[in-house]
Copies of this chain bind each other. A is one copy, B any other.
Amino acid sequence: MELLTCWIEETLCRLNLVETMDQPKGFSRLGYSKEEQASQEQFRSIAKELGLQTFQDAAGNQWAVWQVDESADLIATGSHLDTVYNGGGYDGVAGVVASLAAVKLLKDACFKPTKNIAVIAFACEESARFNVSTIGSKAIAGLLDTDKLALFEDSSGISLKKAFTDCGLDWDALHEARLEDHQLEQFIELHIEQATQLEKTGKDIGIVRTIAQPTRLRITTIGKTNHTGSTPMDERQDALVAIAPLISFIEQETLAINQRNTPLVATVSTIQNSPNAMSMIPGEVVLGVDIRSTSAAAKHELVQKINHFVRTIEAKRAVTVSIKILVDDDPIELDPAIHATLTQLCNDIGLSSMELNSGAGHDVMNLAKRWPCGLLFIPCRNGVSHHPSEHADSDDLLKGTKVLAEYLKRVASNEDPSLD
Residue of B nearest to A132 (CB): B278
Residue of B nearest to A377 (CB): B230
Contact B133–A279 (Cβ < 8 Å): yes
Give the dominant DSSP class at A's interface: loop
A212 at the interface (CB under 8 A from B): yes
Distance between Cα atoms of A243 and B134 in the complex (Å): 32
Residue of B nearest to A268 (CB): B240
User: A365 to nearest B CB, angstroms?
Assistant: 11
Residue of B nearest to A238 (CB): B267
Contact A281–B269 (Cβ < 8 Å): yes
Distance between Cα atoms of A234 and B383 in the complex (Å): 12
Contact B386–A127 (Cβ < 8 Å): no
Residue of B nearest to A131 (CB): B278
Contact A269–B248 (Cβ < 8 Å): no
Q: Which residues of B contact A193 (CB under 8 A)?
A: 230
From residue 381 to 415 of chain A, which have CB atoms closer than 8 A to chain B? Answer: 383-387
From residue 173 to 197 of chain A, which have CB atoms closer than 8 A to chain B? Answer: 193-196
Most chain B beta carbons < 10 A, residue from A230, A234, A359, A384 = A230
Q: Which residues of B contact A361 (CB under 8 A)?
A: 229
User: A368 to nearest B CB, angstroms?
Assistant: 16
Distance between Cα atoms of A332 and B400 in the complex (Å): 69
Residue of B nearest to A384 (CB): B226
A169 at the interface (CB under 8 A from B): no
Contact A386–B227 (Cβ < 8 Å): yes
Which among B230, B233, B264, B386 is the interface contact of A194 at CB below 8 angstroms?
B230
Q: Which residues of B contact A229 (CB under 8 A)?
A: 194, 212, 214, 265, 290, 292, 358-361
A165 at the interface (CB under 8 A from B): no
Distance between Cα atoms of A154 and B225 in the complex (Å): 20
Distance between Cα atoms of A216 and B279 in the complex (Å): 10
A232 at the interface (CB under 8 A from B): yes
A296 at the interface (CB under 8 A from B): no
Residue of B nearest to A91 (CB): B227
Contact A277–B212 (Cβ < 8 Å): no
Contact B292–A127 (Cβ < 8 Å): no
A86 at the interface (CB under 8 A from B): yes
A352 at the interface (CB under 8 A from B): no
Contact B245–A233 (Cβ < 8 Å): no
Q: Which residues of B contact A278 (CB under 8 A)?
A: 127, 131, 216, 269-270, 288, 290
A241 at the interface (CB under 8 A from B): yes
User: A395 to nearest B CB, angstroms?
Assistant: 21
Given contacts A195-B232, A238-B267, A359-B230, contact A279 B290 (CB under 8 A): yes
Interface 1/0 per residue, A226-255 and B, CB below 8 Å: 111111111100101100110110010011
Residue of B nearest to A282 (CB): B269
Contact B196–A235 (Cβ < 8 Å): yes
Residue of B nearest to A362 (CB): B229
Distance between Cα atoms of A235 and B263 in the complex (Å): 13
A126 at the interface (CB under 8 A from B): yes
Distance between Cα atoms of A131 and B226 in the complex (Å): 17
Interface 1/0 per residue, A114-131 and B, CB below 8 Å: 000000000000111001
Distance between Cα atoms of A402 and B245 in the complex (Å): 48
Known: A133-B279, A234-B255. 12 other contacts (CB 8 A): A84-B280, A214-B229, A224-B387, A229-B358, A231-B265, A232-B359, A234-B258, A238-B267, A267-B281, A269-B277, A269-B278, A269-B281
9 contacts between A and B (CB under 8 A): A126-B279, A127-B278, A228-B292, A233-B258, A234-B258, A238-B267, A267-B282, A278-B290, A283-B387
Q: Which residues of A contact B (CB under 8 A)?
A: 84-86, 91, 126-128, 131, 133, 193-196, 212, 214, 216, 224-235, 238, 240-241, 244-245, 247-248, 251, 254-255, 258, 263-271, 273, 275-283, 288, 290, 292, 358-361, 383-387
Query: What 9 pairs between A and B have smallest CB-CB spacing?
Result: A194-B230, A229-B360, A244-B247, A229-B359, A230-B359, A228-B267, A230-B360, A195-B230, A228-B290
